[in-house]
Structure 1
Amino acid sequence: MALQQIVEQTVAGLGYDLVEIERSAGGLLRITIDLVWAAPAAEVQEPVVEQFITVEDCEKVTRQLQYALEVEGVDYKRLEVSSPGIDRLLRNEQDFMRFEGEMVDITLKEPLGAAAGGQVAANRKKFRGTLERVDGGGWQIVWSDAPPVKPGQRVSKKRVPAPLQALGFTLDELREARLAPIVDFKGRGAKPDSAD
């Protein structure tokens, strides 16, 4: 049985989602897992409670994988099982649906070329913006090239905001897509318009 199959069956059998398998130098086998995601039902209006992979989850998968890999005779020196982290890889349609509305980094396989219409550099392949679904299927990323406002910097009310730009793409055109690793040190519950 192939390594991909062994790991997928083991991880799925324990109730987790396989995000990535990576073989590194020195015989390191790195497995990234996440909780299985189901699209929220439209009629349910309850707040969504975020759940995360714990150390105990990684430990449970590690023990089971060590056994399965030994039985199948897979050669590796070290096994590392971890959560996807804040820069999680988006690898399929379900991942894109799960993280719709989030800030993502995408890298295209080919530069835009002349199709960009002069608004974006023709050789640009990397973009950071908000992931949105396009009517009729497909995806787009929306961003602004305005420089970020530094903390404490005053912004004139007369300042014209930079226009939003959008780039439509298909999953076949992507080399890689990841959640943008943006950390907010103000805490999870902070509202942007609340008074401190």
Structure 2
Amino acid sequence: MAKGTVAERVKAAVEPIIEAEHLELVDVEYVKEGGNWYLRIYIDKLGGVDLDDCQMVSEKIDTLLDELDPIPQAYFLEVSSPGIERPLKKPADFERFKGHLIMVNTYTPVDGAKSFTGKLENYSEAGVQLNIKGKSMVIPLDKVAASRLAVEF
């Protein structure tokens, strides 16, 4: 298989299968927890995914991964919804969730903090623009470590 991390190689291989089912590939993780490796594939669609979607994708991906054999060691395959606190990774994610409450974590402090929660106003080359308690703030993209939807109570 092509070079890159396991997650990158798997993403490239499975994305066409997922898109063919009119689903969105949200994220791929390959992590070691305890003594076991886990390949986690997060999928979504408008209205959310259900157990049948996850099972169908899991079966198709499992067959493909058996053929390609991109992972040398034993691992557990998990296919699931990204959950209520869905990660925002692609520009399209930010466009889709404008007006929603999100949380952004940064690599280094911005205005003295590394964690921000606010309404997503905009996303551009300048950064992620949030409305935090009535004040607009732009977090530069090169400082963004992770961003996700935040739960509103």
TM-score by length of 1: 0.65
When residues 171 and 88 of structure 1 are mapped into structure 2, their CA distance, relative to the original with a 3 A threshold, is same
Unaligned segments of structure 1, at least 5 residues: 36-49, 113-121, 145-163, 185-196
Q: 1:7 to 1:180 in 2, by over 3 A?
A: same
Residue matched to 1:29:
39
Letter in 2 for 1:177: S
How far residue 143 of structure 1 moved from its aligned partner, in angstroms, is 1.4
User: Residue in 1 aligned with 2:27?
Assistant: 20
Q: Pick the structure with more helix per residue.
A: 2
- 1:66 paired residue among 17, 40, 62: 62
SS of the residue 1:89 aligns to: coil
- Provide the rounded CA distance (Å) in 2 between the counterparts of 1:165 and 1:24: 38
Q: Given the alignment, which residue of 123, 141, 149 partners 1:171?
A: 141
Q: Name the residue aligned to 2:122.
A: 133
Gaps of 5+ in 2: 2-8
- 1:52 paired to 2:48: yes
Task: Give the partner amino acid of 2:132.
Answer: W
Q: Tell me the percent identity.
A: 30
Q: Quick check: 2:125–2:141 contact (8 Å CA) kept in 1?
A: no
Task: Name the larger-Rg structure.
Answer: 1
Q: Are the aligned partners of 2:101 and 2:120 in contact in 1 as well (CA < 8 Å)?
A: yes
Give the equivalent residue in structure 1 for 2:16: 9
Counterparts of 1:104 and 1:89 in 2: how far apart (Å)? Answer: 9
CA drift at 1:8: 1.9
Q: Which residue of 2 aligns with 1:124?
A: 113
- Aligned length in residues: 141
Structure 1 runs of 4+ aligned residues shifted over 4 Å read: 134-138
Superposition deviation, residue 7 in structure 1: 2.2
In 1, Cα distance between the equivalents of 2:144 and 2:15?
23
Give the match's secondary structure for 1:133. strand
Moved more, 165-174 or 65-74: 165-174
TM-score (norm: length of structure 2): 0.82
1:13-53 deviation digits (Å, cap 9, x = unpaired): 32211111111221211110112xxxxxxxxxxxxxx6111
